[in-house]
Amino acid sequence: MKNAVFLLIAVLGVLELAVGQETITQNSVFAVGKINPSWSYQAETHFVRGDFLKEARQYILRPSATFSLSKHVEVSGGISYLYNASYSDGPSAASEEFNSWEQVGVHHNLGRLNFFHWVRTEQRHNVSGYSQRLRYRITLSTPLELFAGLRFDAISFNEHFVRAKNMSFDGFDQNWTFVGVQFPIGEHLMFRSGYRHTLARRGGENIHLNTLQSWLSVKVL
């Protein structure tokens, strides 16, 4: 596992040199639990740092609830609070955002491949006023086993963001591509880590961000 971590950091460094733009880190904690067989909840906390841990860039709180319509289909809803810091004009150039969102998710399998698709609509309130955004993510995972019975999941996702106006397309916002691994730590913890590339449209230009992204999921109930 240590060799895998070192390899991931090395790949991240090479990609940063190749693209020539910023490396950031995102560390997240998910508290998850079931209320009953149909209802579950999740509370997300995200910490984003820029210039490879040197600068605090973003802080996100996102509680939500999910209702399972069937074995394969679920609907979710929640709210988000985002604190964004910009260092282009100094650390004091910060802003806040509040948004509400709705989501439909679908699970299915193809042999050993596990798929999860979701579509999310966001109603955003920030310094620019009110806006909408649509997000679509497809996640693919498959179980793997190494020597000595070491088991983990290889996992990847792609997420596409578009700006919306009256629920109609209003321009490209950003795209995420993630590749990594996840594995359980005991009965109540799940850890996921990997590399994420972000292509974002900002100020009329495309920017590329390299992200070392890690999650710790904690089963509360």
Span 166-189, average pLDDT: 92
Quote the radius of gyration of the chain (alpha carbons, Å).
18
DSSP codes joined into one string, 24-42 = EEEEEEEEEEESSSSEEEE
Would you state the pLDDT for residue 63? Answer: 98
pLDDT of residue 53: 67
Break the chain into its structural domains and give their ranges.
2-219
Q: CA of 91: how far to CAs of 21, 86, 126, 193, 208, in Å?
A: 19, 6, 18, 28, 21
Average pLDDT value for residue range 174-203: 94
Mean pLDDT of 176-180: 97
Q: In the structure encoding, which two tokens stand for residue 138, read together?
A: 């497809």
Q: Is 53 helix (H, G, I), strand (E, B) or coil?
A: coil
The secondary structure element, H or E, covering residue 203 is none
The pTM of the full predicted model, rounded to 2 decimals, is 0.86
Query: Could you tell me the pLDDT band of residue 79, with boundaries at 50, 70 and 90?
Result: very high
Mean pLDDT of 97-117: 97
Which single residue is written with the structure tokens 């579509």?
A: 119
pLDDT-based confidence at 16, cuts 50/70/90?
A: very low
Whether pLDDT at 185 is above 80: yes
Contact (CB, 8 A) for 193 and 27: no
Confidence of residue 108 (pLDDT cuts 50, 70, 90): very high
Residue that has been written with the tokens 């989501």 in this structure: 103
Tell me what the pLDDT averaged over the chain comes to: 87
- CATH 2.40.160 corresponds to the domain 2-219: yes
Residue 17 pLDDT exceeds 90: no
Distance CA 116, CA 73 (A): 10
Phi, psi for residue 88 in degrees, rounded to 5: -70, -30
Half-sphere exposure of 123 (CA within 13 A, CB side): 7
Question: For the residues 142-147, what does the mean pLDDT come to?
Answer: 86
Q: How far is CA 136 from the centre of its chain?
A: 12
What letter would DSSP give residue 72? S
* Token output for 185: 């730590």
Q: Which helix (H) or strand (E) holds 147?
A: none
- Angular region, 17: left φ>0, alpha ψ -120 to 50, beta rest: alpha
pLDDT of residue 89: 52
**Chain-centre distance for alpha carbon 105:** 15
What does DSSP say about strands 39-50 and 168-185: parallel, antiparallel, or unpaired?
unpaired
Q: What integer pLDDT is reported at residue 176 of this predicted model?
A: 97
Stretch among 76-80, 168-172, 184-188, 200-204 having the lowest mean pLDDT: 200-204
Query: Would you state the pLDDT for residue 55?
Result: 80
| Residue 85: band (very low, low, confident or very high) from pLDDT cuts 50, 70, 90 | confident
